[in-house]
Structure 1
Amino acid sequence: MIGKNRFGISAKIITGYAVIIVCLVISIFVVNNQLSTMQKERNFIIHHDLQVHSLTNEIEKKLLEMENGQRGYVLTGSERFLKSYNAAENSWRDDFNQLYSLLADNPSQQNNLINIKKAMMSWVNETGEPIIALKKNNKNAAAVKGLQQENSIQNVENIRSQFEQFRSTEISLTEKRAAHLDSRNKNLTYGLISLLVVVIALSIGLALFISRSIVNTVKEVIASIKAMTSNGGDVSKRIFVKTKDEIRELAHATNDLLDSVEKRDWLQKSTNGIVGQYQGKATMNELGTTFISGVARSTDASYGAIYVRESMDSKKFIKKGQFAGTAADVGRDVFTIGEGLVGQCAIEKSPLLIENVPNDYILVSSALGEAQAKNVIIVPVLFEGDTIAVLELATLQTFTEEHKALIENVTKTFGLTVDSISGRMEIVRLLKESQALTEELQAQSEELQTQSEELQMQSEELRMINEQLEQRSLEAEGKSRELLQAKNELEEQAQELSLSSKYKSEFLANMSHELRTPLNSILILSEMLAENAASHQLAEDEEFARVIHSSGQDLLHLINDILDLSKVEAGKLEMLFNEVNMSELPQQLERNFAHVAQQKGLDFRVAMENDVPPLIYTDETRVQQILKNLLSNAIKFTERGTVAVHISSQAPKEKRVEANHWLCFAVSDTGIGIPKEKHDHIFEAFQQGDGATARKFGGTGLGLSISLEFIKLLGGTLELESEEGKGSTFYMYLPSLPEGVTTLASVEEETVLQEVAATVEVEEKLPPNEQGALGFFSGKTVLITDDDQRNIFALKTALQNEGMQVITAANGHECLTLLEETENLDLILMDIMMPVMDGYETIQAIRAQEAYQDIPIIALTAKAMKNDREKCLEVGASDYVSKPLKIEQLFSVMRVWISNQ
């Protein structure tokens, strides 16, 4: 177990994103601070400088208005010009004071402004007011003369020149401020680029760390599985993981499996070793001594004895062998049925285990001393339902479950051997009696030889008959022994095969559940992160989430490939024959693979001869899967040139089945090619085109192995033409079998097809929905029951994003409690594999309540085994969805059942 300091994959991913988000927040804060400062400077330039220029122009404008008002009044005498002069003369000082305040940070410009003010005041006092006063006193000639004086005109021009110089100085200052602002903007750009580089480097580092911690252990699990299924069957390797997450749980589960397989391997080898030791023994004493010695050594027993029944008609059991002692100090010599524990064991025909051995029981002795035995086991040896022998063992330790299983195994075959030797010894006894009788008859014959020649001939005939009987008896004994041995070996092989298939199926089912459960949350969360990042225009986060989602999908494909390969090896994957429309196949291949080839710059071609029939009978799903594997390999191992598919009517040289019509699918490429010595090697599991498992080109290395097995099940053959560096061509020959046996597809495909069919059937009856899942689910209440908090988190987040109210329960008991406390519940999502109270029991308990007999319950499980869907529906589930969940599929199923309420 991982313990309290668990740091799971979800936590790692969340921590990685948290670090990135913190970096982004810091970056945004720094950038915002810089932008704020620059904004203030920009506002200063805009508001301050523009206002300075505006006020300067306004003051100059007032000066011109005073000059024009003065001139117009003197020349025309109109009061309108005098009002204009007075208005300008009264207001220009306010603008001057405001302008002077704005220049508080520039004393030099303030001095220039004071000089302008002095000049304007001088013009007003010396020229403006005096001339207007002359006009008011009707001294028109003097007033006009004053206007015409060059001194008056020159004063105004000097003032305007001062204004122009003042504005030039302000423009120069504005340009300097703008240049400083441009410099800061450039520095900000460099800073942003640096922050971006740091965040990218940190993100890549975190992504590599998290993916490596997941992938490395998965590779070790794959290596352990490969070693276990190889010819040697090496199960000694163990996986050691330092991380405290779900990957460590996967490693522990694999190690537990390897321990179990190693124990079974020890049991088989020990059984074979003991049986091999006592084979060929001629006497019962030799057989008993060899047998008890082998069993005692294999079970770490300190003392032992074997008692064999005198005959099937007798009630006596006689000691025929002992271990670690003499005939006198190891057990009694004779027992009768019902006498003591040995006799009682013979009656009950079942083992007896004594764990609390009495003090007066046997003492285990050696040269150094004696010790009290701790455990004693007494086991009957049965033959055809009768007790033929009894085995008794004593140990200083305790008999483990492996020891008990070993004893049970060897006693099954030992009974047959005891009976065989007993029969052989009986034959020998009868033979000796026959020989004694013959000798007696010969003596009588010699005595009566003179009396009757006929008696001598009869005696000779009797001798010959006895010899023939002896020979036939020996032959019958040999045949009987051979038949019994052959029968025993066949039964053992059948049991081993059945047990191996059972363990393998259970292992694969559990591995599927354990891998699919974390994959479920990885795929859902990564898909949501990608969509969220896309909606916020976070391209990098979207790419990271898509990489995680793609990696999870690759791992899911690997799990499915291993499951398919195991089903093929176990003989549990069968084909579903039906009509296949060949006219649509070229377009399907073009649609599915043309864009993939174009991305690599390859020319993709599909050609079909005219003699190809429009319909053939085969398994369409498997054919498409085979073509997908072959084309994917062709594109993957081809860097330039062409990938082509040619379909024709052609039969192979060697046919595996008889068919009226054969098709040849030729998949060729101009890729790396395969050396001739490795043509057979690439069809082995986990191998690639270079004949190794180095994964230079990626992929699981299972595609060709699975494809070859599929082709065999379809009745076809697969041939290869390839030369290193010159490309490859795979020829797939398939028969059209109208009378093919109708069977089931693989468990995963059957489950998916059932789910899709059920969903489509009901959805076709629904009215259209231009609002989507969000509008449909908004305000609905759902109860999620799952013991895995990662799945709860992923599902809860996804459903809350759709506007749903989500309630969660960790097991069946919590679910039932929440049902009593919750009103207006619209839907229940129920996980099947849960502790305390699993999904089957919980669904049955819910349906038992009248108030909840109609509420939709959708079963969710990662253990996608055959008949799981039927079992869920039988206990009361409304529908079934297998993990890892596809969010859109789940939403579709939910929409169907919510709409039916």
Structure 2
Amino acid sequence: MKRRRIGISYKITSGYVILIVCIAISTILLNTQITKLQEERNGIIQYDSGMRTLSNTLERQIIKMESNLNRFLITDNQTYLQNYYEELATWESNYAELTNLVQDYSGNEKLLEPIYSGILNWIDTVGEPLNDAILNNNDEQVAILIDGTQSSNAIMSLQEGFSTFRNSETAAIQDKITELNNKNTNLTFILFFSLFVLAIITIVIFTIISRKISSSIKDVTSAIEDINTNEGHAYTQLVVRTNDEVQDLVQAANELLQTMNARNWFQKNLADIVTAYQGVDTLYELGDNLLNSLTTSTNSVYGAFYIQDPQNKSKFKKVSAFAEGSSNVGREEIISTHGFVGQSIKEKRILTYGTADDHLHYLETAFGNIPISHGMIVPVIFGQEVIAVLELAALKPYSGQQLALIEEIIIHLGVTINSIQGRMEVIRLLNESQAMSEELQVQSEELQTQSEELQMQTEELTTINERLEERTRDAEQKTRDLQKTQTDLKQIALELQQSSNYKSEFLANMSHELRTPLNSILILSEMLAENKAQSLSDDDLEFAKVIHKSGNDLLLLINDILDLSKVEAGKLDLWYSETDLYEVPTHIQNLFAPIANQKGLTLSANVDSALEAVFHTDAKRFYQIINNLLSNALKFTESGSVTVNVTIPELTPSMEKLSQTWIKLSVTDTGIGIPQDKHSIVFESFQQADGATVRKYGGTGLGLSICREVSKLLGGWLTLQSEVGVGSTFTLYLPSLSEGNPMNVSMIEEMVAEKEMVQIEVPASAIHHFQNKRIIIADDDYRNIYALRHALEQKGAHVIEATNGVECLNILQSGEHVDAVLMDIMMPEMDGYETITHIREVLQLHDLPIIALTAKAMKQDRERAFEVGASDYISKPLNLEQLFSLLTVWLTSEANSING
């Protein structure tokens, strides 16, 4: 009876099944307990949140009713009276909802009865009488109710009641939490005990299985090690008595040994045959060596080797034979178009033949003649032509291994034959060349005599040529000097151009590398500072604000460095528009009054009434100069005042030539002052008056340098008057230019900068536009994805992440609905430009809003983004309100059609 086969996989699977069953049982039991604990925890959280929300809402309603009545008395605004009626009409429904919640969970609704009585008491004794007195214009009654302390005491009593209620419920909740913690501890003990038991079971099961498997494999391993030590000379067949996968392993090993035996035979015979005909010089020697080795390897008894006749390529002549006796082996000459040999030459392949009934030839031996019944014809090919034919005969049919050996040999045999023929032709030509050399020797002696006669004439011509060559060398030297000068000038111009390109690229890359991480810092710190989840302590909130402020300071520093570099490179873009000078004081007060108040300084700003309100300049750069000057004045002033005066200066002829309208803006402070010998260096980049200033007040020394350069671009200039210990006055002279500055053409021929994005305020009613919107964030920096995802999810949007352009395209091609795409520009594999182009041209999604995001602050990046099809553009670090504004515009646009 055949023994049933039990495989290794079955044995291992049996162990796993037992283990999985145990784990499944433990998991079901533990999951049941965990689910119960989770449900109880969720119930506590939901009750705590609902209880606090409803009680706070009810408490605020009572306070709002009192506040609305008081505000109505003060302002006589009917809106406050209407608000009182609305709160009066809705507080009982909130109280009922709170009562039901407490009754369903803790049953402590009696704690709410004093609160209810207190609310009714305040309404009956204060709220309604005061309302009636207001409606009846009873000022005396109003005064009594307002001046008294009854309402305040009632409100305070209600607040104490709410606090007592919430504290009581919080204590009850804490008791339940403690109970859940105890249950959780018990569950943890049960979990570890179950894992310990499962570990013991697993060790026992797999120990039994592994011992059964390893005992059989050791026998096979021992046999394979014996084979390896024999170094391939003796391959004994393996025997195994197991009835599983090990038996399959042994059978595969035996097949491998057979293959190795065949490969060794093939390689050994191939090496012997190739070695046999290496280094021969004649075709006859080649034929003899080839037939001797080849007949031995293939068990052939006859052989003949034919070479193509160079004079008549249709004929092949015999050059060698093997075992030739009284009768010749094969014909002396064969024709390529005749018989079976001709067919082999025509088809360029090996043909075999044989007969079982009759013989083709007799092998002559000392004992008699042996009939030969099998043979083959082998054409030797070089290039596309048969150049030799080999015919072999044997007593038995040729095996496939012997045919493969012959096919491998003739692959290179054609090259060898052609090489020997080439060497023989070279020898023949060499002999002919030697005979011709002797004839040339005689002719050379005759020419020698004629050469001596020509030598005399050559010497005379040489003298003339030397003079001409000297003049030519002088002219060539001058030409080379001129060419070298031109080459040096071109090289210098090229280096200058490359230096400018490297600087621009460095600025762009620096902007990207700094703004990319800074983007995440600003967004996440801003979200932390908002503390919407109310989960941060006061210290944590302060830390978040400090991080956000530090990030903004770093952003300002980056912008200053980039602005200064753009000015120096002549690539700062100016946008002239109408500017209202009378808005300058308002701007200064709004932006700098808090700082001045904090330091106890007097801040004032005045505009001469004789000035026209409309002034033409670049408003952004104009206010940038004002902000820098005022920031410096406030920073270096410890006490006293900072004053800004905008007046009309006296015009010189050169000033009138440029513009008829000028302003003189002076910023005067009572600060530390600047020494006279330091007036020039404060306008240089990264310079301040001294090291102590840097240590005490901080700063990079870029602000005044930027102010000076920007004022020049606007057609004006900046002056300084200062005295140590008294204060400083920075004065800006600026013309009104409606069509730009014609004087800066020589300084700036190419303007490259970043246009400011239009800030669109998003009303609170527009937040619902983000609900359930599907937005792709394509960015290779996970910090940016993390920050943007949390910001958008808080608005109700669904975020889809893509770490490069290829992933973004795959998402869109999958047919998944997408409302908008936030596309980073610099990404691996496929950058933002390529991805946007593919979306527009290949996917034909022309209406899908795509907002390009980049940390590079160069104008060409923005222009290129619009060229490839971006809907809008925003630079990093991102302003969340600005981003939400852009998304709101595009998500509510009629052009935003449904795609894929």
Q: TM-score range by the shorter chain?
A: 0.3 to 0.5
Give TM-score scaled by structure 2 length: 0.43
Give TM-score scaled by structure 1 length: 0.43
